[in-house]
């Protein structure tokens, strides 16, 4: 059986940061990533990040991705690509399906001391008549196509949802050459930051607040979208329907943590809508209720890449400490600084609810361990 | 209809929040306008300013505060702002024309001297303008800063180049 | 043509190395190393499969290998997620009907 000290499931911003932090202290790390290239969703995030200038704010996600990969390389972090973790078992054994070709797979078992679940999140769907038509897709899917694969998924796009993902992806599709027909938001207010909305409105993009998607029309591809104003009881205001010619409808309806591995590992989960749904409870060290299993990034509650990076670092420091590579004074100092930065990132217009949810997650951990 | 419903900021909103430079200051020369009205955990505007004219403070979610006396209108902050919410306006040119500088992250073919249609914060074409400056340095990291000369009455309104739909 | 050849942030696309693939019996060029789904999308092909019961078309939905809406028959193997499978010289790609059939199956 392959041996390692720390195994990270998922090589996105959280997983890479956890690996870097631990490897810097001397821990032997293996990252398992299901994709052809590690970096998670960073390589489609071509915008400059918010945050503190001290920690890469103002840097584009793609550049942060390259930086993190380079650091892993410099630190000899082993990254397995095209490799999918299919099981987390007792005594820290992990089963990995390594894809060699279209038909060849190899099953490898790894014995590790510590596991970090950094599996990220998946997009929520919104169901409406016609939602399965080709041309109707996740906002993230459209972003992947335009920014990563550099193929436009469509030319006339209607975005459903005005959260930051919906707003940013609309902007980026426009940068790639698509026309944004409009953005539909069922709530009375725009959900994401106003600055992201203003980037679109000054290009003349209408934001239909208080509207919802009623239907996608088309045979082999969507060619029309029908939207309408919503009443407080979610029925449609009679006569408010608008039909828009589109070839693409993108759905930016939020994300939910990918918790399959945490569930398999027996970690206690809690449900909170500000975490994006079910997410594992964890302590101050990001360790879940299952000893030796840690969690970081969107898998521990959906936030942003900059918070994922900080949570990853927390895991890295805690694990290095636990394995004896960092003395507890030094580790405590590092952890404190990270928690302070996390608190800073969770301030502001959209931070209060998230801070509350993250607090609850810590409290539920304590309750579970006491009970 | 307010910003949260429409996504469209107005000068009146900014003035009301005491976030628009004074007429007096604009007449003296270029000055930054921080069109950032929500507490976002973000501070590159502060750290990028060579003149310490923008203050955010230790809590990075504070709204940026401009010291209009320290600001020279150098436009460094425009490309530094991750939210693309910083602009520089100048009403010191003459009584007829002024300029507005804004971030522009799209493919473009215009050149200095070209006449273009100018758009307000709602994307409506409000006047014609002349491209005065196009800056795309290594430091601005692929955010082009465009300076447009427009009739002075539109300096507080124009924020982009009109997009044909 | 849906390729984003020039981009304000990503820059100009580097010179493309092409491979030849066959899609539904017709020859097509694809960018070396790109995902099958991206190659098809660039040519405006957006239906990847038809559902088993209702014969409804399906195409790109998640783009990162989670949802299985883009599964096609590749080199005679059904249920291949085309959004995470790169093209190879000489590859054959077919729209999948229902659960799909292995090459040689009746």
Q: What is the DSSP string of B29-52?
A: S-EEEE---S--SB-HHHHH-TT-
Q: Is the dihedral of CA C52, C55, C56, C62 positive or negative?
A: positive
**pLDDT(A188) > 70:** yes
3-class DSSP state for residue A184? strand
Cα–Cα distance for residue pair B24/C105, rounded to 1 Å:
82
DSSP 8-state secondary structure symbol assigned to residue A287:
B
DSSP one-letter code for A43 = G
The upper half-sphere exposure of residue B103, i.e. CA atoms within 13 Å in the direction of its Cβ, equals: 29
| Residue A351: predicted pLDDT | 82
Kindly indicate the confidence band of residue C84, based on its pLDDT and cuts at 50, 70 and 90.
very high
Q: Are B83 and A193 in contact (CB under 8 A)?
A: yes
CA angle at A270 for the pair A268 and A273, rounded to the nearest 5°: 155
Domain range for C86 = 6-97
For residue C23, what is the domain's CATH number?
3.10.20.440
Q: Do the Cβ atoms of B41 and A348 come closer than 8 Å? A: yes
For chain C, give the percent of residues with pLDDT over 90.
Answer: 91
User: Would you mind telling me the total number of residues written for chain A in this entry?
Assistant: 371
Is residue B109 within 8 angstroms of chain C, CB to CB?
no
* A268 in reach of chain C (CB within 8 A): no
| B165 touching chain A per CB within 8 A | yes
pLDDT at B86 over 90: yes
What is the structure's pLDDT at C104? 74
Question: Which band of pLDDT confidence, cut at 50, 70 and 90, is reported for residue B155?
Answer: very high
Chain A closest-CA separation from residue B41 CA (Å): 5
Instruction: Quote the pLDDT of residue A55.
Output: 87
Token pair belonging to A318: 């805690």
- How far is the C-alpha of C55 from the C-alpha of C24, rounded, in Å? 17
Report in angstroms the alpha-carbon separations of A371 from A266, A268, A290: 16, 12, 14
The pLDDT of residue A331: 98
Find the angle CA(A273)-CA(A278)-CA(A279) to the nearest 5 degrees.
105
**Which residues of chain C have a CB within 8 Å of the CB of A137?**
59-63
Provide the percentage of residues in chain A whose pLDDT is more than 70: 100
A60 to B41: CB separation less than 8 angstroms, yes or no:
no
Instruction: List CB contacts (< 8 A) between C42 and chain A.
Output: 151
* A18, HSE (Cβ side, Cα atoms, 13 Å): 39
Q: What is the pLDDT of residues A130-147, one digit of tens each?
A: 999 999 999 999 999 999
Average pLDDT over residues B126-146: 97
Using a CB-CB distance cutoff of 8 angstroms, which residues of chain A are in contact with residue C85? Answer: 102
Mean predicted confidence (pLDDT) in B105-127: 97
| Average pLDDT across chain C, whole number | 95
What's the whole-number mean pLDDT along residues A96-112? Answer: 96
Quick one: pLDDT band at residue A352, thresholds 50, 70, 90? confident
**Alpha helices, DSSP H only, in chain A?**
13-25, 61-74, 139-143, 164-175, 194-201, 260-264, 305-322, 328-345, 352-370
b/e sequence A72-83, b meaning 16+ C-beta within 10 Å: beebebebbebb
Instruction: Categorize the per-residue pLDDT at C40 as very low, low, confident or very high, splitting at 50, 70 and 90.
Output: very high
Tally the domains of chain C.
1
Percent of chain C with pLDDT over 70: 97
CB contact under 8 A, C41 and A103: no
Say whether pLDDT at A349 is over 80. Answer: no
Q: Is residue B59 pLDDT above 80, yes or no? A: yes
CA–CA dist A330, A225 (Å, integer): 57
- The secondary structure of residue A125, as a DSSP letter, is P
Q: Is A261 left (phi over 0), alpha (psi -120 to 50) or beta?
A: alpha
The two tokens of residue B16 are: 């009301």
CB A308 within 8 A of CB A297: yes
| pLDDT computed for residue A350 by the predictor | 72
Q: What span, in angstroms and rounded, lies between the C-alpha atoms of A285 and A304?
A: 19
Length of chain C as a residue count:
106
- Residue B124 and residue B158: Cα distance in Å, rounded? 9
Q: Do C64 and A141 touch (CB under 8 A)?
A: yes
Name the residue among A134, A142, A153 with its Cβ closest to that of C47.
A134
Domain count, chain B: 1
Is residue C106 very low, low, confident or very high in pLDDT (cuts 50, 70, 90)? Answer: low
Which of B84, B142, B146 is the best residue to mutate to test the C interface, defined by the most C CB atoms within 10 Å of its own CB? Answer: B142
**Yes or no, beta carbons of B105 and C9 under 8 Å apart:** yes
Any domain includes C42: yes
C84 close contact with A: CB closer than 8 A? yes
Contacts of A79 (CB under 8 A, 6+ apart): A11, A30, A31, A33, A38, A72
Task: Answer whether B138 touches C (CB < 8 Å).
Answer: no
Give which of C3, C5, C8, C9 to mutate to test A binding, by max A Cβ within 10 Å.
C9
pLDDT tops 80 at residue A107:
yes
| Predicted local confidence at residue A297, as pLDDT | 98
**Mean pLDDT score, C19-26:** 97
pLDDT tier for residue B61 given thresholds of 50, 70 and 90: very high
pLDDT higher than threshold 70 for residue B54: yes
Q: Which residue has the tokens 């273009």?
A: B116
Give, in order, the Cα–Cα distances in Å from A285 to each of A15, A289, A318, A319: 15, 11, 6, 8
Q: Do C9 and B107 touch (CB under 8 A)?
A: no
Q: Indicate whether B1 pLDDT > 70.
A: no
**Average pLDDT score over residue span B35-56:** 96
Can you give the pTM of this predicted structure?
0.97
* Complete domains list, chain A, with CATH: 2-122+255-370 (3.50.50.60), 125-251 (3.50.50.60)
Range 3-32 of C in CB contact (< 8 A) with A: 3-5, 7-10, 13
Mean pLDDT value of segment B14-33: 95
How confident is residue A347, by pLDDT bands cut at 50, 70 and 90?
confident
Q: CA-CA distances (angstroms) from residue A318 to A325, A333, A338?
A: 10, 11, 11
Domain encompassing residue B51:
3-161
Chain A residues close to B126, C-beta within 8 Å: none
Asked whether this complex has an ipTM greater than 0.90, the answer is: yes
Question: Does the pLDDT at position C1 exceed 90?
Answer: no
The pLDDT mean for chain B works out to 96
Beta-strand relationship, A6-9 and A293-295: unpaired
Out of A57, A59, A347, the one facing B59 most closely (by C-beta) is A347
Indicate yes or no: CB of B6 within 8 angstroms of CB of A345.
no
**Domain contains C18:** yes
Average pLDDT over residues A50-71: 95
Neighbours of chain C (3+ CB pairs under 8 A): A, B
Residues B107-127: what's their mean pLDDT? 97
pLDDT band at C101, cuts 50/70/90? confident
Residue C73, CB-side half-sphere exposure with 13 Å CA sphere: 17
């Amino acid at each position: 059986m392959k041996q390692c000290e720390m195994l990270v499931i998922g090589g996105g911003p959280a997983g890479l940061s956890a690996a870097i932090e631990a490897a810097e202290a001397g821990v032997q790390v293996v990252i398992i990533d299901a994709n052809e290239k590690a970096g998670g969703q960073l390589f489609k995030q071509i915008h400059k990040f918010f945050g503190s200038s001290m920690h890469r704010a103002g840097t584009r996600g793609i550049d942060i991705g390259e930086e993190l990969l380079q650091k892993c390389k410099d630190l000899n972090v082993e990254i397995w690509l095209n490799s999918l973790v299919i099981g987390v078992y007792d005594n820290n054994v992990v089963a990995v399906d390594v894809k060699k070709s279209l038909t060849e797979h190899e099953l490898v078992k790894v014995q590790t001391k510590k596991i970090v679940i950094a599996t990220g999140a998946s997009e929520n769907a919104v169901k409406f008549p016609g939602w399965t038509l080709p041309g109707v897709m996740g906002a993230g899917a459209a972003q992947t196509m335009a920014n990563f694969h550099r193929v436009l998924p469509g030319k006339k796009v209607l975005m459903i949802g005005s959260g930051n993902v919906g707003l940013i992806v609309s902007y980026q599709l426009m940068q790639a050459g698509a026309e944004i027909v409009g953005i539909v938001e069922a709530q009375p207010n725009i959900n994401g930051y106003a600055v992201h909305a203003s980037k679109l409105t000054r290009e003349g993009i209408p934001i239909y607040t208080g509207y919802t998607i009623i239907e996608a029309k088309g045979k082999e591809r969507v060619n029309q979208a029908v939207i309408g104003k919503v009443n407080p009881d979610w029925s449609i205001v009679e006569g408010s329907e608008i039909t828009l010619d589109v070839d693409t409808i993108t759905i930016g309806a939020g994300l939910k943590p990918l918790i399959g591995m945490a569930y398999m590992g027996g970690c206690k989960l809690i449900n909170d809508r500000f975490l994006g749904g079910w997410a594992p409870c964890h302590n101050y060290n990001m360790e879940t209720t299952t000893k030796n299993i840690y969690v970081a990034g969107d898998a521990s509650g959906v936030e942003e890449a900059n918070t994922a990076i900080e949570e990853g670092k927390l895991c890295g420091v805690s694990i290095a400490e636990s394995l004896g590579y960092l003395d507890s004074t030094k580790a405590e100092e590092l952890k404190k600084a990270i928690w302070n930065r996390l608190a800073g990132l969770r301030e502001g217009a959209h931070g209060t609810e998230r801070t509350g949810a993250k607090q609850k997650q810590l409290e539920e951990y304590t309750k579970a361990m006491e009970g | 209809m307010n910003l949260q419903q429409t996504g469209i900021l107005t000068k009146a909103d900014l003035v009301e929040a005491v976030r628009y430079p004074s007429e007096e200051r604009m007449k003296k020369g270029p000055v930054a306008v921080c069109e950032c009205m929500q507490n976002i955990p973000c501070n590159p505007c502060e750290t990028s300013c060579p003149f310490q004219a923008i203050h955010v403070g230790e809590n990075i979610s504070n709204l940026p505060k401009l010291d209009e006396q320290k600001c020279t209108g150098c436009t460094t902050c425009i490309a530094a702002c991750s939210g693309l919410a910083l602009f520089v306006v100048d009403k010191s040119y003459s009584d007829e024309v002024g300029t507005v500088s804004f971030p522009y992250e799209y493919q473009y073919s215009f050149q200095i001297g070209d006449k273009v249609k100018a758009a307000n914060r709602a994307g409506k074409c409000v006047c014609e303008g002349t491209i005065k400056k196009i800056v795309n340095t290594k430091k601005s990291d692929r955010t082009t800063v465009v300076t447009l000369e427009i009739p002075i009455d539109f300096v507080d309104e124009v924020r982009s180049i009109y997009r044909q739909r | 043509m849906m390729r984003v050849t020039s981009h304000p942030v990503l820059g100009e696309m580097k010179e493309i190395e092409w491979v030849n693939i066959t899609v539904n019996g017709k020859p097509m060029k694809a960018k070396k190393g790109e995902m099958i789904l991206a190659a098809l999308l660039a040519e405006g092909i957006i239906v990847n499969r038809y559902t088993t019961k209702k014969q409804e078309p399906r195409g790109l939905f998640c783009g990162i290998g989670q949802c299985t809406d883009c599964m096609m028959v590749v080199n005679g193997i059904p249920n291949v997620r085309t959004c995470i499978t790169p093209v190879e010289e000489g590859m054959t790609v077919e729209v999948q009907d229902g659960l799909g059939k292995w090459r040689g199956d009746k």
